[in-house]
Structure 1
Amino acid sequence: MAINLNPYINWRGQAREAMAFYQSVLGGELTMMTFADMGGTAMGVAESEVDWVMHSSLSVSDAVLLMGADHPSHVPGEPQTQQVSISGPAEDEATLRAWWEGLSEGATVHQPLEKAPWGDTFGMLSDKYGVDWLVNIAGAPSEG
């Protein structure tokens, strides 16, 4: 049995823009529903937030599904810092590097995508929507 864990990211009013950006980087099919689609103010959502995203899903492949939503003001708490980790084999290096480059647009790079001491290629960044991404491309350990 295959089990997939799928990141679910929350924002406050940026989900539509962020998920469209991720689709431009990762590809795939994006679906969205708003709070208005599900009853809007009848659900307790402020009139100014009814067009926010209640749920979105970006299906990139059988193994990659990214989901996200806006966190309306009537729901207690704040969206927390989100972290998404992507890892893959050396055979997918071109795709993973392309994703890194796309995610780097407007981002703060904390660790450039480069060869790490454990033999993989690894990088960390915070994208323009405040989401932290870790990208790891498997490689052979260095001899030495």
Structure 2
Amino acid sequence: MKNLSTYIAYPGTTQEAFEHYRDVFGGELSIVKYGDMPPMEGMPFEPDPDAVAHATLTLPGGTISGSDQMPGETYAVKDTIYSLLYGFDDVEEARACLATLVEAGGAVNMSFELAPWGDHYGTVFDKFGVMWAFTVPATEETGN
């Protein structure tokens, strides 16, 4: 079975981010820290035992995976070059998730509104810098 998932390297905030996403969206969370793993010969660095080696949040409709950045990596998480697009069937459910991300320290990037193409659509940066896009397809129930 083929599956496409998102993987993000966070600057030491993976556990906090994934616990936050679980609280917002629900789902099943798995976190493995380097200290939980057997020693790995040939590693180019000595991993912090408290650093997240791999996290996965299984959500209705998909998965998000990630880890803490490797020592010396300083990649920016916040950018508009990507977003995590999460589709909902219900406008109010999407609005509630968007509002929860904003209330927890995020910021609206594009208001969740009826878009010119007929769907409801909006984007928000969460408190970790990840841009989330929310969409609800046009249907009779959504009023489009």
Q: What is the TM-score of this pair, normalised by structure 1? A: 0.79
Whether the aligned pair in 2 keeps the contact of 1:41 and 1:50 (CA below 8 Å) is: no
Equivalent residue for 2:113? Answer: 114
Mapped partners of 1:77, 1:134: distance in 2: 24
RMSD between aligned alpha carbons? 2.7
User: Which ranges of structure 2 fall in alignment gaps of 5 or more residues?
Assistant: none
- Within-5 A mapping of 1:74-89: 74=72, 78=75, 80=77, 81=79, 83-89=83-89
Q: Take 1:40 and 1:21, find their aligned partners in 2: how far apart are those partners?
A: 29
Give the partner amino acid of 1:36. Answer: G
The ranges of structure 1 where at least 4 consecutive aligned residues each deviate by more than 6 angstroms after the TM superposition are none
Give the number of aligned pairs.
Answer: 137
Report the 3-state secondary structure (helix = DSSP H, G, I; strand = E; otherwise coil) of the residue aligned with 1:104: helix
Tell me how far 1:77 sits from its aligned partner: 6.1
SS in 2 for 1:18: helix
- For structure 1, the residue ranges without an aligned partner over 5 or more in a row are none
Instruction: Please name the residue that 1:73 is paired with.
Output: 71
Whole-Å Cα distance in 2 between the matches of residues 116 and 83 of structure 1? Answer: 17
Q: TM-score, normalised by structure 2?
A: 0.79
- Partner of residue 12, structure 2: 13
Distance across 1 between alignment mates of 2:107 and 2:4: 26
- Higher alpha-carbon deviation: 52-61 or 133-142: 133-142
For the 8 Å contact 1:10–1:79, the answer to whether it is kept is no
* Structure 1 residue 97 corresponds to structure 2 residue 101: no
Q: What is the distance in 2 between the residues matched to 1:37 and 1:17?
A: 17
